[in-house]
Structure 1
Amino acid sequence: MTHVFRTTAVSAAVLTAVLGLAGCGGSDPMPGMNHASPSPSATGSPSAAAAFNTADVAFATQMIPHHQQAVEMADQALRKATTADVKKLATAIKAAQAPEIEQLSGWLKNWGQPVPTPGMHSGHAMTGMMTEQEMQDLSKASGTMFDRMWTEMMIKHHQGAITMAKTEQTAGKDTAAITLAKQIQTAQTTEITTMQRLLGRLPAA
C-alpha cells in the first residue's frame, strides 16, 4: 500500500528553549528539552512504494491517545503548576506532542485506518497511561503537591512511550514511523533524566 508522509513544523522559538532548574544560588541547564518535530529530511519521507504493517498501525493508534493524555496533563500544569520549571516542561511537551498527534493521525488516514478520537484512552491499559482515578487525583492536587505528582506521573508516562517506541523500532516496517519512534525514545529518555533532577528539588509531598 502507498501512503503520504505528512510532517508538522513546530516553532523553533518554543522548541529550542533551554529549561533551567533554579537552586542553590544559580540555575542548572536542563539538556534534552528540544522537542522539535521531525523535518522531512530527518524522517526520510517514504517513497511511493513504501509499505506499512500491523505494528506501524498499532504504534500510531496507541501513541495518539498516549500523546493526547500527555497534552491534557501539560495543560493542567500550565494552569496549576507553581514551579516555573514544571510549566516550562509542560510547554515543551505540549509543543512536541500536539504536532506528533497530527502527524500520526495523517499516517492512519493515508493507511485507511481509523484515527482515535480524544478520550478514547479511557478504559485502555496502554503502558504508561494514567488511569481515570489518577487523572482525577491530579486535577484535585494543588501547590507543590501538584508539581510533584505531575512530575512523577509524567516520568511514568514517558517510560510507557519509550516502551512503545522500542516496539515500533523492532517490529515496524514504515521507515518514517520507525524514525519518529527513535526520536521519541531519544527525547523522552533525556526528559526523564531532566524530570528526575527536577523531582529531587521539589519539596516532598
Structure 2
Amino acid sequence: MRNTRTLTRRAALTATAVTAALVLAACGNDSDSASSGHDGHSASSSSASSSAAAHNEQDMAFAQGMIPHHQQALEMAKLAVGRASSATVKSLASRIEKAQDPEIQTMNGWLKSWGQDMSSSMPGMDHSAGSGMPGMMDGTDMGHLKKMSGTDFDTMFLTMMIDHHKGAVEMATAEKNKGAYGPATSMADDIITAQTAEITEMNNLLGKG
C-alpha cells in the first residue's frame, strides 16, 4: 500500500513538473514571437520611412513636372480617337495613353508619400497652356489641334507629339542624371527608351526618317 501511494505521489509530482516546463516554454515562445514581430514591424516601418526619405529636389521636380506633361500627352492622344484618319496614328495614340496614364498614377503616389501636393506646390499651373517645361504646347497649339481632322490632324498631331516627346526625354534625362529616388530614375530611363523610339516612329510616318 505504501509503495503504491509513493508511486502515485511521484507520478503526480512528475506531471506537475512537466506541465510547468511546458508552460514556461510556451511563454518563452510567445515572448520570442512578440519580439520577432515587433522587430519585423520596426524593420518594415524603417524601410518605408527610408524609402520615402530617399529622394531629392530633382525627384520632386521630375514628378511635379512630368505629371502635367503626361496629362497633356493624354489629352492629345484622346483627340486622335475621333479625328485621326490613320490607323497607325490611332494605334500610336492608344499606346501613349496606356503607357503614360499608369505613370501619372505612380508619380502621384510618390508625391503623396513625400508629403507633396502638386496643385499646392505648383500654384496656377495650367498644363494645357504651357508652363515653361520642354515640349509643352500652349493653348493656341491645342486649340488648332482640336479643330483639325483627317490627314491634317495626323500631320499636326505627329509634329506636336514629336516636340512633346523630345521635351519629356529632356526632363527624364535630367532626372536620370541628378535624381536620387531609384523608382523615379528607373521610370526616367523607361521614358527615354520608349519615347525616343516613338520619336523615330513618328518621324518615319512624316517621311522624315
Query: TM-score, normalised on structure 2?
Result: 0.71
1:188 to 188, 195, 205: 195
SS of the residue aligned with 1:200? coil
1:63 to 59, 63, 66: 66
2:207 to 196, 200, 203: 200
Structural mapping, 1:80-119, within 5 Å: 80-116=83-119
User: Percent sequence identity over matched residues?
Assistant: 51
1:167 to 144, 166, 174: 174
**Conserved in 2, the CA contact under 8 Å of 1:65 and 1:116?**
no
Larger RCO: 1 or 2 (CA < 8 Å, sep 6+): 1
Point out the structure with the larger strand share: 1
**Conserved in 1, the CA contact under 8 Å of 2:130 and 2:136?**
no
> What is the aligned partner in structure 2 of residue 157 from structure 1?
164
1:140-194 residue CA offsets vs partner (Å, 9 max, x unmatched): 1121011000000000000000000000011110011000000000000001001
1:9-65 residue CA offsets vs partner (Å, 9 max, x unmatched): xxxxxxxxxxxxxxxxxxxxxxxxxxxxxxxxxxxxxx5323100000000000000
Point out the structure with the larger helix share: 2
Q: Any unmatched runs of 5+ in structure 1?
A: 1-46
In structure 1, C-alpha distance between the alignment counterparts of 2:119 and 2:202, rounded to whole Å:
29
Q: After the TM superposition, list the runs of 4 or more consecutive aligned residues in structure 1 that deviate by more than 6 angstroms.
A: none
1:137 to 144, 150, 157: 144
Report the Cα offset of residue 125 of structure 1. Answer: 1.4
> What is the aligned partner in structure 1 of residue 185 from structure 2?
178
Query: TM-score, normalised on structure 1?
Result: 0.72
**Conserved in 2, the CA contact under 8 Å of 1:70 and 1:157?**
yes
Aligned residue-pair number: 154
**Conserved in 1, the CA contact under 8 Å of 2:130 and 2:137?**
no
> What is the aligned partner in structure 2 of residue 74 from structure 1?
77
Report the Cα offset of residue 93 of structure 1. Answer: 0.2
| Greater C-alpha radius of gyration | 2
In structure 1, C-alpha distance between the alignment counterparts of 2:98 and 2:118, rounded to whole Å:
21
**Conserved in 2, the CA contact under 8 Å of 1:109 and 1:115?**
no
